[in-house]
Amino acid sequence: MNQLISKKVAALTGHIKVPGDKSISHRSLIMGTMAIGQSRISGLLEGEDVQDTARAMEAMGADISRDANGDWLVHGVGIGGLCQPEKPLDMGNSGTGARLIMGLVSTYPHNTSFIGDASLSSRPMRRVTDPLEKFGAEFQGAMDMTLPITVKGIGDPLPIEYEVPVASAQVKSAVLLAALNTPGKTTVIEPVATRDHTERMFEHFGVPIEITGSAITVTGQPELTARDMFVPTDPSSAAFPTVAALITPGSDITIENVGMNPSRTGIYTTLIEMGGDISFINQRLECGESVADIHVKYSPLKGTIVPEKRAPSMIDEYPVLCIAASVAEGQTVMRGLGELRVKESDRIAAMVTGLKASGVTVVEHDKGMTVTGAANIPGGALIKTHLDHRIAMSFLILGLRADSPVTVDDGTVIETSFPGFRHLMNELGANIGSNA
């Protein structure tokens, strides 16, 4: 455990680049492995979650290296070319890595075991094993289908049609990845649209994919050739310095090359509705994904009611939105968030407990929370992060504005998604240090 402490500061200023998009990084390593030849990935997130995916791909035959410019090179094995790993795949803290790769391997005649840390080992996996069983795969694990799980994949899978019962890009993507090594057409129907990075990457690699309304159909067993990929920086990571600048008087920052895929930008829409001075400059398209630089200035914020239907486009950003809401005038109501209970931690419980300990007025709902903002936040608490990077970063942002410093019990977990967070924030003028 490595406690970090965050203290009140004056303005945050400067230009920064946050690390690469976690969702796109996982997918780029997986798709590089599915293609024959060498794919080059620029801007890959070098966080622990993505490194676990890289090691999993290597364990199944990919050759992955980093060149002197910081680009990653993946020599793929092609669809059908994966080998059975010799040891369990350790997916660490990563639900995305575990669920996507479970999908990928379920249509190979292999036994593949998955393990993870205490957080990942408590997360629900039946949401992916249910559809993957329909291809013919079998699963061995605890009664409640949590990790460790062994996937007994199927060598002659049958294509399926599957309607995803929860709003989950991970479930959708697990099915689409299982479809890659399945002959014929597999269709996933998504009642609520979620992030579409898998579909965009399939298009980039030339996988036959048709999207009609909410139905996504993939024709399996294509032969893929290597492609170069560019990973924009992560809008979910950029949300932390964005909120930090919005709530710290006098701030003026720019964050470069941020992914602006509309399935990910709900947090920016919400913060602008709350009165945030946020502008998007130099908007452009890179490898099928839109990208912009974000300019953020300190702004007095007002509470809002976040539309429930916006949740999938900002599902990872509710913890940091709670921090913005803590200093906004009036109430911010967040509902329709049952999924937050099964993230790296129960994020509703973790935020409500931490906010109350910091002197913020908050009410917990079954599927959400209501925060009442105040100009002055007492702070001064020691926050439990529950192996959850976004809980840790959110409360370190609160410390920049609170009257007394805010301490988080474990800063190491931030490495899963945002290596260099503390350094980057301090470059802008934050005061986040080790509490050793």
- Annotated active-site residue 144? The verdict is no
Phi, psi of 8 (to 5 degrees): -60, 135
Pair of tokens at residue 76: 């793929």
Where in 189-208 is the site for ligand S3P (CB under 6 A)?
195
Which segment (39-47, 166-174, 212-220, 269-277) binds ligand S3P by CB under 6 A?
166-174
Given the complex with ligand S3P, which of 119 and 168 has the nearer CB atom? 168
**The binder of ligand S3P chosen from 4, 5, 60, 169 (CB under 6 A):** 169
**Residue 112 within binding range of ligand S3P, rule CB under 6 A:** no
Which of these is catalytic: 293, 316, 388, 409? 316
Q: How many other β-carbons are positioned within 10 Å of the β-carbon of residue 223?
A: 10
Sequence-distant (6+) residues with CB within 8 A of 46 are: 19, 20, 419
Site string for ligand S3P, 115-154 (x = CB under 6 A): ----------------------------------------
Where in 346-405 is the site for ligand S3P (CB under 6 A)?
none
Given the complex with ligand S3P, which of 256 and 339 has the nearer CB atom? 339
Task: Determine the residue type at 399.
Answer: G
**Residue 339 within binding range of ligand S3P, rule CB under 6 A:** yes
Pairing of strands 111-115, 89-90: parallel
Given the complex with ligand S3P, which of 40 and 347 has the nearer CB atom? 347
CA 32 to chain centre: 20
Which segment (37-45, 58-66, 105-113, 162-170) binds ligand S3P by CB under 6 A?
162-170
Check if the beta carbon of residue 402 is closer than 8 Å to that of residue 378: yes
Task: Compute the least distance from the CB of residue 62 to ligand S3P, in Å.
Answer: 19
Helix extents (H) in 254-317 = 266-273
**Residue 315 within binding range of ligand S3P, rule CB under 6 A:** yes
**The binder of ligand S3P chosen from 196, 316, 388, 415 (CB under 6 A):** 316
Whole-angstrom Cα distance, residue 121 to residue 242? Answer: 32
In 3D space, the residue among 341, 344, 334, 259 whose CA is nearest the CA of residue 294 turns out to be 259
Can you say whether residue 423 is alpha, beta or left, with left for phi > 0 and alpha for psi between -120 and 50 degrees?
alpha
Where in 80-109 is the site for ligand S3P (CB under 6 A)?
96
Specify which residues 113 forms β-bridges with.
Answer: 150
Whole-angstrom Cα distance, residue 5 to residue 320? Answer: 17
Pair of tokens at residue 25: 């990084």
Which segment (32-40, 165-173, 345-353, 391-399) binds ligand S3P by CB under 6 A?
165-173
**The binder of ligand S3P chosen from 173, 353, 370, 407 (CB under 6 A):** 173
Please identify every residue annotated as catalytic. Answer: 316
Which residues here bind ligand S3P, judged by CB under 6 A? Answer: 23, 96, 168-170, 173, 195, 315-316, 339
